[in-house]
Amino acid sequence: MAIRFTKKQRRDGNFGEDADFAEWYVEDFMKDHLPQYYYNVSDAGKREMVINGRRYAREFNLHDPEAQAYFITLMWEIGANFYTFPGFSDVLSREGVHEMEKINLLLDGTVTEDQAIKAIMAPDDRYWYRDNLKSD
C-alpha cells in the first residue's frame, strides 16, 4: 500500500496541523486501507491515536506527513510499540538518514523476518497513550 499525497492535497491540505492530518489519515486513508481499525475504534479515539502516533514519529525525526503516515500505519499493523523492537528501533534511530529512506528501510527487508515476528507477536496498545505508561 503506497501512501502518496497529490500535489493538490499538499497545496490545499494543511498537514502541519495535527487535527487536519488526523482527519485526512482517518477519512481518506484509514477508511479504505485499514477498515478493521476504522470501524472498530471510536471516531474520537482513532483521531487521538493518530495524533499521538504522529507525535511519536516526530521523535524519530519523521516530519514529512508521508513518512508520518507510514509510521502510524506500522503502529496499526504491527503494534503501537513496534518502534521499541530491535530492527525497527535500529533503523528509526539512525542519524543522517532521510525520512523516507528510514521508511523504505523498515519496509525493504532491513528488519529481519525474525525481528518483525517478535514485534508482531508482542503488540502493546498502551503505546498509543505512552504518557500513561508507568515506568518500572
Block means of pLDDT (10 residues each) for the chain, 136 residues, are 58 72 92 95 96 96 94 97 97 95 94 96 95 71
Instruction: Give this prediction's pTM.
Output: 0.89
Q: Which helix (H) or strand (E) holds 69?
A: helix 65-77
Tell me what pLDDT residue 13 has.
Answer: 55
89 contacts: CB under 8 Å, gap ≥ 6: 83
Tell me what pLDDT residue 17 has.
Answer: 87
Tell me what pLDDT residue 109 has.
Answer: 86
From residue 106, alpha-carbon distances to 68, 79, 124, 135 in Å are 13, 14, 19, 27
Instruction: Choose among 82, 39, 35: nearest CA to 60.
Output: 82
